[in-house]
A and B are shown apart, each in its own frame.
Chain A
Amino acid sequence: MALPIITPASTPYEHLSKDAPLGKKLAASLSTRIGRAAVIVVCLLWTVPTFGLLVSSFRPENDIKTTGWWTFFTHPSVTLQNYRDVLSSSGGNADNFGKYFLNTVRITLPATFIPIVIAALAAYALAWMSFKGRDWVFVGVVALMVVPIQMAMVPLLRLLNLGGHLTISGHTFTIFPNFDINSSVVSVWIAHTCFALPLAIFLLKNFIQALPKDLIEAARIDGASHLTVFLKVVLPLAVPALASLAIFQFLWVWNDFLVGKVFGPSDLKPMTWKLNDLVGSKGQDWQRLTAGAFISMVVPLGVFFSLQRYFVRGLTAGAVKG
Chain B
Amino acid sequence: MGDLIATFGTALAGIAIFLLVLLGIYFVTGFLPGRSKERSRVAVFLGPALLFLLIGLLIPAIRTIFISLYTNKGDALDVNKFVGLSNYRKIFGDKATRMVLLNNLWWVILGTGFSVGVGLAVARIADQMKAERVWKSLIFLPTAISMVGAGIIWRFVYNKSPDPSHEFGLLNAVLTKVGASPRIWLLQQQNYVAGAPHLNTVLLIVIFIWIQAGFCTTVLSAAVKGVPDSLKEAASIDGATDLQAFRKVTIPYIMPTIVAVSTTTIIAVLKVFDIIQSTTGGNFNTDVLANEMYDKTYPQNQPGYGAALAVIIFVVVVPVVIVNLRSQRRAREIA
Contacts and interface: CB of A to CB of B under 8 A. Distances in A.
Pair from one complex: yes
A164 B63 CA distance: 13
Contacts of B307: 154
A289 interface: yes
A303 B145 CA distance: 11
Contacts of B166: 66-68
Interface string B215-243: 10011001001100100110011000110
Contacts of A102: 1, 3-4
B253 interface: no
B61 interface: yes
B313 interface: yes
Interface in B79-118: 118
Nearest to A104: B146
B322 interface: yes
B122 A118 contact: no
A44 B121 CA distance: 15
A311 B143 CA distance: 10
Contacts of A92: none
B20 interface: no
Contact of A122 (B4, B48, B63): B48
Interface string B149-193: 101111111010101001111100100000000000000000000
Contact of A194 (B52, B129, B148): B52
Contacts of A69: 156, 168
Interface string A110-135: 10011001110110111001010000
Nearest to A318: B264
A197 B53 contact: yes
A167 interface: no
Nearest to A227: B26
A58 to B, nearest CB: 14
A310 interface: no
A49 B274 CA distance: 18
A153 interface: yes
Interface stretch (A73-81, A82-90, A236-244, A254-262): A254-262
Given A49-B157, A197-B52, A106 B310 contact: no
Q: Which of A24, A70, A301, A312 has the most CB of B within 10 A?
A: A312
A137 B42 CA distance: 12
A155 B64 contact: yes
A28 interface: yes
Interface in A9-64: 9-10, 12, 15-17, 24, 28, 31-32, 35-36, 38-40, 42-44, 46-50, 52-53, 56, 64
A279 B278 contact: yes
B128 to A, nearest CB: 6
A245 interface: no
Nearest to B329: A206
B55 A159 contact: yes
Contacts of B64: 151-152, 154-155
B49 A119 contact: yes
B293 interface: yes
A131 B38 contact: yes
B126 A189 contact: no
Nearest to B145: A297
Contact of A258 (B44, B125, B273): B273
A53 B332 CA distance: 38
B41 interface: yes
Interface of A: 1-4, 6-7, 9-10, 12, 15-17, 24, 28, 31-32, 35-36, 38-40, 42-44, 46-50, 52-53, 56, 64-70, 102, 105-106, 109-110, 113-114, 117-119, 121-122, 124-126, 129, 131, 137, 141-142, 144-159, 161-162, 164, 176, 185-186, 189-191, 193-195, 197-198, 201, 225-227, 230, 251, 254-258, 262, 272, 275-276, 279-280, 286, 289-290, 292-293, 296-297, 300-301, 303-304, 308, 311-312, 315-316, 319-320, 322
Interface of B: 1, 3-4, 7-8, 11, 14-15, 19, 23, 26, 30, 38-39, 41-42, 44-46, 48-50, 52-53, 55-61, 63-64, 67, 76-77, 118, 121-122, 125-126, 128-133, 135-149, 151-157, 159, 161, 163, 166-170, 173, 210, 213-215, 218-219, 222, 225-226, 229, 232-233, 236-237, 241-242, 260, 264, 267, 270-271, 273-274, 277-279, 281, 290, 293-294, 297-298, 303, 306-307, 309-311, 313-314, 317-318, 321-322, 324-325, 328, 332, 335
14 contacts: A7-B225, A35-B125, A39-B135, A46-B142, A56-B156, A109-B8, A121-B49, A151-B60, A154-B67, A154-B297, A154-B307, A156-B60, A189-B11, A193-B52
Given A42-B122, A142-B325, A150-B309, 15 more contacts: A1-B335, A4-B226, A7-B225, A15-B236, A24-B241, A47-B141, A68-B170, A125-B46, A148-B270, A148-B271, A155-B63, A195-B56, A258-B274, A308-B137, A322-B271
